[in-house]
Chains A and B, each alone.
Chain A
């Protein structure tokens, strides 16, 4: 496979493919010269990520260190861990870095150096996490809104260990909806962000991880888990209904996929929500099951005459799913080639766009090819630009967001709120994703691969 042998110039390319690539190049030309903040080498985080992309051993130690960091309570503890993680021969660190790291563990400057390290790690986390609590996050959301970018917020703290934590998460979500709707009502009008082809859409938008709402959630105990979660989510959905807020159920590990879909349907079938048009679900293109799930969802939606959002993503747990399947000797639920996930993303995009009578589409990706394909396919079906939206993660791919926003599309940021400790799982997923060899952002903004290669149409079989 030669990446640079683009099909852009081949005459066998279909009309639509020509249009996709033209749009892709157009987006690229607007953002190529800028650097997304995470790759900015003026910052410690950018330098660290840069080094980890070329040094696998260092990457492993760095990410493990970042994972343990929030639980280290004393300087003494941090020093020990720095020694144990980085004072190793197999890292082959540049002398300056090694010296810098070890300077934190001894000598008179050590406390200062540690302070700087703490700041740097917090800074890294802040690239992806908007604030420790709602109050801290609100100004960030307002800034976004002022720059014509919409948001969906998520409270970090993924798995609840006990029912007290789960109840607490529930209260926080209810509180979040109230505060968001109160605060955001004072913001300026934006026709780009608030008008969809079907009418006015809410300013408030939240994303919920169901595993944070029930500590005993277990798909084995399907019926009972469903009852408990439905009761809790009904509170959130009703609150959202009262405060004009959209609610997405995020999609987590494959283990919860069937359950989450069943829960979503069961919620929307509830009488209390029969008028609620603001529910959304996430589908992951890296799953081999998803096409079937999507078709079933469409069939269900038509028969219940319900409209809902579908956020199409590729999926954030690829390493986990691959490892678990191998560990358990289970068939692997995710595609094993990146290109297959990309191809499936496009296939699912087309199915979604063919069913806008049921689905309100949201394409969540930082991949210019995936987005250009979705936009072009929508256009091809005579769907207006505001009949779908484009979603990206807070702190990532800023140049792409800006370009799309300027082209008049509704762009929504996924904005996490929360402490570093509960946010660690999220942070590590983002770091893995951005430094992966397969990452579109890395290939575009770090490896500087040719646009034509990056925009090539993905195929299932090669």
Chain B
């Protein structure tokens, strides 16, 4: 088998068994807490801008585990400002798009270097602003660094001229050119890695970027802007637009000067973007390209011969890690009849043993969900689950907290058509389904609108082989949990209603950010050609 990217070295995670690494995060948390409360405003052409219709700075990003802790105030961008940002990007595209790829790559690599230096503080910020546990935050940082390094490296390869065919007399060359202005609309659940990935891919191949971070991750989003600028990105190549997705996002998607939209988020918003971007308003001389990574209803199958110790550990981490708020999170576990009782009773006990507490607490296995809206939506689904199925276990949450803690909940006796087995909940809610055999397990696993991630715990070579072929997901994991994809090792992305576009973290991802051009030059003159002379 051919090995891809064997030389790419992923950024190593912090080894938290070493006290120096624990201390790094602990002191970063202290430091970051001492400097909270900044204002975040739109930045265009390197300058803070405001307009009559922009927000008054009363919007806030807060710590979900302690909503009184304000991370920062936000001056939300208006339509007017968004238009300015687009125009700035359009103007700057002329020079950025023709900057040699090696120079662009250099800036991204420099940014990776700065990220590395600020890793602990950025992790601390994520822990506070988005409620990510220490390991999750550190993982996010490493992934961001990987994206910068990887896309920088691969863009350089991509732009090396490629000749097609080898016949004499006609030289066929393949070129790539950037598309233009890219709108990056990013989620809060990987508040640094996902936007960095989309931005780095767009910039590496020469697009300019209007960056709209998720509002609840504004401070993290600003850091991305700040670091890229420090790395030497010219003003106006990346414009920063904090504010409401509904307003800014909608506007960006409609504008004729936007060539490309890179989006990660919910299925509803993703489908709306695809539909809206499909229209071609007057004055728009291109069809917009949409790259959308949407949702999942990811299943883990537990085969009758599974190693239950590792299966249970894996299921709990995949279902409850970061409160289940990952697109890759496990929300269904499909268990073969013969191990069902053993599995569920141990799963229940294991769930009762984990700690729900603010992400800042190094012992936190589950923290607060991102905001009030999420809290309410997840709580509603738990009520739906109680009507449809049966509660296997519900974990306790901290007493007297003001944070957005929902009780991590596992339902059993769930039927495949139940809403909790079909709809993306995006919270610490897990549905357990019992099946009679492996055929049924695969059928149910594949029986949703989504096809993002999935896992199988089995020690049967035959069933493992079947899963390779028949388990319909973009990222399949065997005997390991279905979250935590790494750049260049497990390129990430799904199909069906889980998304459109090529997987992130592989070279082909970049192809979506460029146009391709083939040039055929007749090199013969009077019958002689360079190859024959």
Q: With A and B bound together, what is the CA distance between A72 and B308 in angstroms?
A: 12
A80, A81, A220: which contacts B22 (Cβ < 8 A)? A220
A329–B12 contact, CB under 8 A? yes
Chain A contacts with B in 310-330, Cβ cutoff 8 A: 328-330
Chain B residues near A159 (CB, 8 Å)? 309
Chain B contacts with A in 17-32, Cβ cutoff 8 A: 17-19, 22
Chain A contacts with B in 39-87, Cβ cutoff 8 A: 64, 67-68, 71-74, 77, 80-81, 84-85
Contact with B along A297-340 (1 / 0, CB 8 A): 00000000000000000000000000000001110000000000
How far apart are A266's CB and chain B's nearest CB, in angstroms?
14
State the B residues within 8 Å of A (CB).
9-13, 15-19, 22, 134-135, 304-309, 312-313, 338, 346, 349-350, 352-355, 361-363, 365, 459-462
How far apart are B233's CB and chain A's nearest CB, in angstroms?
28
Q: A68 — nearest CB in chain B belongs to which residue? A: B459
A219-B17, A222-B19 given as contacts; is B305 within 8 A of A72 (CB)? yes
Chain B residues near A256 (CB, 8 Å)? 17
A64, A73, A219: which contacts B459 (Cβ < 8 A)? A64
A258–B9 contact, CB under 8 A? no
A224 at the interface (CB under 8 A from B): yes
Q: With A and B bound together, what is the CA distance between A80 and B15 in angstroms?
A: 41
A242 at the interface (CB under 8 A from B): no
Q: A258 — nearest CB in chain B belongs to which residue? A: B17
A84–B17 contact, CB under 8 A? no
Chain A residues near B11 (CB, 8 Å)? 329
B12–A220 contact, CB under 8 A? no
B16, B307, B349, B460: which contacts A162 (Cβ < 8 A)? B349
B309–A163 contact, CB under 8 A? no
A258–B18 contact, CB under 8 A? yes
A254 at the interface (CB under 8 A from B): yes
Q: B354 — nearest CB in chain A belongs to which residue? A: A216
How far apart are B416's CB and chain A's nearest CB, in angstroms?
25
Q: B365 — nearest CB in chain A belongs to which residue? A: A216
A275 at the interface (CB under 8 A from B): no
Q: A158 — nearest CB in chain B belongs to which residue? A: B309
B354–A161 contact, CB under 8 A? no
Q: B10 — nearest CB in chain A belongs to which residue? A: A329
B17–A77 contact, CB under 8 A? no
A255 at the interface (CB under 8 A from B): yes
A224–B354 contact, CB under 8 A? no
**SS class of chain A's interface: helix, strand, loop or mixed?**
helix
A445 at the interface (CB under 8 A from B): no
For chain A, the bracket of interface size reads 35 or more
B461–A85 contact, CB under 8 A? yes
Chain A residues near B353 (CB, 8 Å)? 161-164, 215-216
B15, B19, B305, B313: which contacts A81 (Cβ < 8 A)? B305
13 A-B contacts (beta carbon < 8 Å): A71-B459, A85-B461, A161-B313, A162-B350, A162-B352, A163-B352, A218-B362, A224-B362, A256-B17, A259-B17, A328-B15, A329-B11, A330-B15
Q: A74 — nearest CB in chain B belongs to which residue? A: B338
How far apart are A404's CB and chain B's nearest CB, in angstroms?
36
A165–B460 contact, CB under 8 A? no
State the A residues within 8 Å of B (CB).
64, 67-68, 71-74, 77, 80-81, 84-85, 159, 161-165, 215-216, 218-222, 224-225, 254-259, 328-330
A255–B17 contact, CB under 8 A? yes
Q: With A and B bound together, what is the CA distance between A416 and B349 in angstroms?
A: 26
Chain A residues near B305 (CB, 8 Å)? 68, 71-72, 77, 81
A77, A81, A164: which contacts B349 (Cβ < 8 A)? A164
Q: With A and B bound together, what is the CA distance between A218 and B135 in angstroms?
A: 11
B460–A81 contact, CB under 8 A? yes
How far apart are B302's CB and chain A's nearest CB, in angstroms?
11
Q: A219 — nearest CB in chain B belongs to which residue? A: B17
Q: With A and B bound together, what is the CA distance between A386 and B15 in angstroms?
A: 41
Chain B residues near A254 (CB, 8 Å)? 17
A221–B309 contact, CB under 8 A? no
B18–A77 contact, CB under 8 A? no
A71–B308 contact, CB under 8 A? yes
Q: With A and B bound together, what is the CA distance between A216 and B316 in angstroms?
A: 12
A161–B309 contact, CB under 8 A? yes
Q: With A and B bound together, what is the CA distance between A254 and B355 in angstroms?
A: 24
B355–A216 contact, CB under 8 A? yes
Chain A residues near B349 (CB, 8 Å)? 161-165
Q: With A and B bound together, what is the CA distance between A159 and B365 in angstroms?
A: 18
A221-B363, A330-B15 given as contacts; is B346 within 8 A of A161 (CB)? yes
Chain A residues near B17 (CB, 8 Å)? 219-220, 254-259
B134–A161 contact, CB under 8 A? no
A161–B362 contact, CB under 8 A? no
How far apart are A165's CB and chain B's nearest CB, in angstroms?
7
Q: With A and B bound together, what is the CA distance between A80 and B462 in angstroms?
A: 9
Q: B355 — nearest CB in chain A belongs to which residue? A: A216
A219–B363 contact, CB under 8 A? no
9 A-B pairs with least C-beta separation: A162-B349, A220-B16, A221-B363, A329-B12, A219-B17, A68-B459, A162-B353, A163-B353, A221-B362
A73–B363 contact, CB under 8 A? no
Q: B464 — nearest CB in chain A belongs to which residue? A: A84
Chain A residues near B338 (CB, 8 Å)? 73-74
Chain B residues near A224 (CB, 8 Å)? 362-363
Q: With A and B bound together, what is the CA distance between A254 and B16 in angstroms?
A: 12
Q: With A and B bound together, what is the CA distance between A170 and B134 in angstroms?
A: 30
Q: With A and B bound together, what is the CA distance between A165 and B312 in angstroms?
A: 14
Chain A residues near B307 (CB, 8 Å)? 67-68, 71
B354–A330 contact, CB under 8 A? no
Chain B residues near A77 (CB, 8 Å)? 304-305
How far apart are B367's CB and chain A's nearest CB, in angstroms?
13
Chain B residues near A259 (CB, 8 Å)? 17
How far apart are A36's CB and chain B's nearest CB, in angstroms?
30
B10, B306, B363, B365: which contacts A71 (Cβ < 8 A)? B306
How far apart are B450's CB and chain A's nearest CB, in angstroms?
29
Q: With A and B bound together, what is the CA distance between A219 and B361 in angstroms?
A: 13
Q: With A and B bound together, what is the CA distance between A216 and B462 in angstroms?
A: 34
How far apart are B284's CB and chain A's nearest CB, in angstroms?
45
Chain B residues near A163 (CB, 8 Å)? 349, 352-353
B459–A216 contact, CB under 8 A? no
Q: A329 — nearest CB in chain B belongs to which residue? A: B12
Chain A residues near B16 (CB, 8 Å)? 218-220
Chain B residues near A71 (CB, 8 Å)? 305-308, 459
